Amino acid sequence: MKVAFTSSTGELIDQHFGQCRSFHIWEITPEQAAPLNTVSAESTAEDEEDRIAARAGAIADCAIVYTMQIGGPAAAKLVAKKIHPMKTNTEVPVAEIVTKLQEVLQGNPPPWLKKALNKDNGSSFLDD
């Protein structure tokens, strides 16, 4: 499953969804986790609605996005695209979230996470 993080360095979730410059994308399975790439979150759109749509498009193949803060309209747009927004409210190490996600995946994930897992039907480098 692909997970996006709003982070200035890739180490900490320390950015607001609507203000981050990039998303750090990870591939996470119950057994393995690794960073895949970083995608730009910046858009030339002047309209707020278009900027949110561009950000959602940049992480369209992700099942979850972890962010420090996110507004209601942006969260609703993500949910409509089957991307589950998770708000941390404080700075949290990416590695801590990755570990927790793996622990949940190894057990009995909640229904929303099972749906998120089903979003990623394609193969990834971890399937090799």
Domain spans in the chain, listed from the N-terminal domain onward: 2-127
Q: What is the mean pLDDT of residues 26-38?
A: 95
The residue assigned the tokens 């369209």 is: 60
Provide the CB-side half-sphere exposure for 88 (13 A, CA).
21
Instruction: Tell me: pLDDT of 45 over 50.
Output: yes
Phi-psi region of 89 (alpha: psi -120 to 50; beta: other; left: phi over 0): left
SS3 68: coil
Instruction: Tell me: pLDDT of 123 over 60.
Output: no
Q: Quick: pLDDT tens for 72-109.
A: 999 999 999 999 999 999 999 999 999 999 999 998 88
Q: Rounded to an integer, what distance in angstroms lies between the CA atom of residue 89 and that of residue 14?
A: 9
Q: What number of H helices and E strands is found in the chain?
A: 4, 7
Pick one of 2.60.120.380, 3.30.420.130, 2.40.50.140, 3.30.420.40 as the CATH number of 2-127.
3.30.420.130
